Chains A and B, each alone.
Chain A
Amino acid sequence: MKVLLSILSIFIMCCTYAQDSSFVRGNEAYANADYETALVEYSKVVSSEQISTALYYNLGNTYYKLEQLGEAIWAYEKALKIDPSNENAQFNLKFANAKTYDDLDTSESGIVAWLKINFFSFSINFWAYGSILFAFILAITLYFFFTTKKQKVKNRSLTLSFGALFLLALLIVLAYLNQSNIIDRDQAVIITEFVEVRSSPSDTAASSFKLHEGTKVDLLRSSDGWTEIGVNGNTGWIEKTAIWEI
């Protein structure tokens, strides 16, 4: 068992080293204004399915420097999904959005944004571990409630049990929402120069309106190479190749 664990830890370290070195090489290339190389290095990390806020943020900067506005906005959005409170990513996203042609305000605001910034900024398993902790607390308080013969202890443990149960439920919901916020792909960014939004999933369908690079859209449903998108209350179909899912 011990041997197995040590092999596993060495393997994990190797992986970490590989992604870190690509990340570091990307950073170095970026510092030397060699953005093509930086893009290649960062992409290596992404393709190894190792992701982080900083990685997407740096990738966004690299795309921006390469004048690929749509991809840059995509990467900033990805970074902010993992850590909505990242101020650098917020700033750069705002900066890049200011350069898009479609002057649409697609950023979240109000209570949703506030909740995201304040609750989804911890490490990815924060709420999951927290819920496990409260499961323990609930177990202990319940034990006391059911076993004690002293009325005072019984009352207190009952109050604590209810509190722990509520927090456990809340943390499970938060853990679920945090994870689905990071994993679910319900939005996308347009990465082609411009795209005709059509009334039905066909090249010959009438063009409803036009969207330009960098605009964020909601994904509604898809059909055979086409995706129905929603933006500012309007909907229409665009080709899947024109967007990158966030």
Chain B
Amino acid sequence: MKRIGVFILFICLIQIGFGQKTVQSVVSSNRVAAFERFNFEILINNFDCEVLQPDFGGLEVVGGPFQSQSNQTLIDNGKRTQITELKWTYQLRAKEEGSYIISGVTMNCDGEPIESDPIEITVSEKTEDSPVDKDYYMRLTSNKSNVYQGEPFTVTLKYYSKARPDQFEALDLGDAVGIYRQDLKPDRKSFQTVVESINGVRYHTIVLREEVCFAQRNGEVSLEPYYASILFRRDFFSQFRKETYSNTLSINVKPIPGSSSADFNGLVGDFSIESEISNTHVKMGDAIDIKITIKGKGNMQDLGTIDLEFPQEFDQYEPEIEDKTSVSGAGFKGEIEYNFVIIPKHYGEYTVPGYSFQYFDLKNKKMKTAKVDDFIIQVDKREGLIVDPPKTALTNTHIQYIEEQSDGFFEQDDFVFGTWTYYGLVSAPLFLSFFFIFFKRKKENISEEDLLVIQQKKAVKNAQLALKEVHEKLDQGDDAAALKGLQTTVNNFFMQKFNVGLSDLSQRKIAARLTSENIDTANLEKFNKIWNTIEMGQFAPIAHENIVQTVKDTESLLIELDKKL
């Protein structure tokens, strides 16, 4: 040990290339078991400095130092850089379990010492299988472990390998329930490999993916292990594949206080809203542009579409959405423009309700409202009231002309129907009709006695008429017919007057009746004389003068009797 614990002087013989002078010390593993051999390497990239062997802190040098040299040619932007690396390798081991520290390696270049980091070695009884011990592993980390729902946080997927990765093959994202994630470098095609020392162990690292995430529900959400497949070079002709899974990353999500409002749709960050309207006073059919701009940063992807409630009288079209946001580790930032075009189809004053939404201000940790006011739009009529082409197929494009003659004006009072006059006029004919019918009926229904009276009244008139005929016959010289007519007349008179049949007419009966009616004797005699003359005339001819006298007597007698009976 002392043998080796001397100053070693290295003189640089060749120096090609330039750049920062670095010294690195790495171990093959910093967790070892007792008596397990491991390597300790010192790496320098220049040759004109002196390097001092570090203090191994009680570890036993089993072998070395073995010197080796590697050359690497880099072509960057057409510039050719050759890097030469010198390496000394020691084989070390610990005899007892415990913690050992290998001090940093000091390099002296022109009096300026450069020192590498000390390395702690933990020695245990048996080898542990911790991830750090592995030669190839992948870590998923977040910049925040405790977020609000909707608050952005960044997740990094980093690959570690001891060998230099040769080719990236595949990456599969694990499930992420309740998380919205957005790749921060979606256009990345190549990966940069960086050499890092993790706890003194030298690793090649690649950041495979960086994403900004937003938790979409509260509680604990987690990103399931990511998978990566990477190829390594074994030798010049062959490669080998390493498939690796990352850890599961859990994030604790806090609910947003006061998030039950209907206006709140999960926006978290800092936002503002503006509006612009092309015209508030238009004619029917003129298009109006309404632009709503939402600016801010946060989970703007949750903004989606916004709905303005246009009155039904407006034709509206799908809004044109212009997304001017960019994504970064702090979330989305920028503005989203919503361009609405509406065309009023009817006149009047309309109110288009404005738009408002609530968001959770992360800085002040409270809800805020962003709002644009209502739009008041005055729509005027167009000439000819034309809104659309007429919906019905009309041949004429104008209304018919006025009527110059009026067919008679009237008032409400001019209606005949329903007036008393009308009811009178409708019912009067019927009343009149029934009136006449009634009278006619009355006439027809006269009693027998009344009829008799009428008959009796008429008796003398009928007799007088009949006697006229008798006179005519006498004038014609037809005595027989005259006498017969006289007999009939007398019979009819008494039949009517006494209301008796022909069989009841005899001289005796008539005389008795006349006596009972208090007819004076002169007339009674007159009757008897006439009756006798008529009876006699039936058997023997009577002188013409005699007949004439009898007819005259009859006439006067009947008139006398009519007065008294």
Chain A residues with a Cβ under 8 A of chain B: 16, 19-20, 23, 27, 30, 45, 49-55, 57-58, 61-62, 64, 67, 69, 83, 88, 91-92, 94-96, 98-99, 101, 103, 123-125, 127-129, 131-132, 135-136, 138-140, 142-143, 146-147, 168, 172, 175-176, 178-179, 182-183, 193-194, 210, 212
Complex Cα distance, B150 from A33, in Å, reads 68
Cα(A23)–Cα(B441), bound, Å: 58
Instruction: Give 1 or 0 for each of B382-396: 1 = CB within 8 Å of chain A CB.
Output: 000111001110101
Q: Measured between C-beta atoms, what is the minimum distance from B430 to chain A in Å?
A: 5
Asked if B408 is at the interface of the complex by the 8 Å CB criterion, the answer is: yes
Give the A-binding residues of B (Cβ under 8 A).
312-313, 345-349, 381, 385-387, 390-392, 394, 396, 399-412, 414-418, 422, 425-430, 432-434, 436-437, 440-441
Taking a contact as CB atoms closer than 8 A, the residue among A64, A94, A168, A175 that contacts B394 in the complex is: A94
B404 to chain A: closest residue by CB: A27
- Which A residues touch B441, using CB under 8 A? 146-147
A135-B429 contact, Cβ under 8 Å, with A88-B403, A103-B391: yes
Given the interface pairs A52-B407, A64-B399, the reply to whether A139 lies near B313 with Cβ below 8 Å is no
Bound-complex Cα distance A67 to B384 (A): 7
B410 in contact with A52 (CB, 8 Å): yes
CB neighbours of B403 from chain A (8 A): 53-54, 57-58, 88
Name the residue among B400, B414, B428 with the largest chain A CB count within 10 angstroms. Answer: B400
Query: Given the complex, which residues of B lie within 8 Å of A20, measured CB to CB?
Result: 406, 409
CB distance from A78 to the nearest CB of B (A): 13
- Chain B residues near A94 (CB-CB < 8 A): 392, 394
User: Contacts of A124 on B, CB cut-off 8 Å?
Assistant: 410, 414-415
Among A19, A92, A135, the residue within 8 A (CB) of B426 is: A135
> Smallest Cβ distance from B29 to chain A, in angstroms?
77
Q: How many A-B residue pairs have CB under 8 A?
A: 147
Residues A54 and B407 in contact, CB atoms below 8 Å apart: yes
The distance from the CB of A185 to the nearest CB of chain B, in whole angstroms, is 12
Give chain B residues whose Cβ lies under 8 Å from the Cβ of A127: 417
A95, A128, A129, A182: the one contacting B390 at CB < 8 Å is: A95
Contact of B422 with A128 in the complex, beta carbons under 8 Å: yes
Q: A52-B406, A212-B346 are in contact. Are A136 and B313 (CB under 8 A)?
A: no
The 9 closest A-B pairs by CB, nearest first: A139-B429, A193-B348, A139-B433, A54-B406, A98-B390, A128-B416, A128-B417, A54-B403, A50-B409
Some 9 contacts from A to B, beta carbons below 8 A apart, are A52-B406, A61-B402, A91-B396, A95-B396, A101-B313, A101-B345, A123-B407, A136-B429, A193-B349
Give the docked Cα–Cα distance between A205 and B387 (Å): 31
**Chain B residue with the shortest CB-CB distance to A69:** B385
Q: How far is the CB of A105 from chain B (nearest CB, A)?
A: 10
**In the complex the two chains form, what is the Cα distance from A125 to B412 in whole Å?**
11
Q: Are A143 and B402 in contact (CB under 8 A)?
A: no
Task: Kindly provide the distance from the CB of B494 to the nearest chain A CB, expressed in whole angstroms.
Answer: 31
The answer, among B381, B407, B418, B436, for a CB contact under 8 Å with A53, is B407
Inter-chain contact B407/A129, CB cutoff 8 Å: no
Decide: B426 and A131 in contact? CB cutoff 8 A: yes
Min CB distance A203 to B, Å, is: 16
Contacts of A182 in B (CB 8 A): 415
Whether A183 contacts B402 in the complex (CB less than 8 A), given A136-B429, A212-B346, comes out as no
CA distance A88 to B436 in the complex (A): 51
Is there contact, CB below 8 Å, between A143 and B436?
yes
When chains A and B are docked, how far (Å) is the Cα of A70 from the Cα of B396? 21
When the two chains form their complex, are residues A99 and B387 in contact, meaning their CB atoms are under 8 A apart? yes
Contact (Cβ within 8 A) B418 A95: no
Measured in the bound complex, the distance between the Cα atoms of B434 and A142 in whole Å is 8
A231 to B407, CA, bound (A): 33
Tell me whether A51 and B409 are in contact (CB under 8 A).
Answer: yes
B416–A142 touching, CB < 8 Å: no
Report the minimum CB–CB distance from B287 to chain A (whole Å). 18
Do residues B312 and A57 form an inter-chain contact, with CB atoms below 8 A? Answer: no
The CB with the most chain B CB atoms within 10 A, among A19, A94, A96, A128, is that of A128
A243 to B306, CA, bound (A): 37
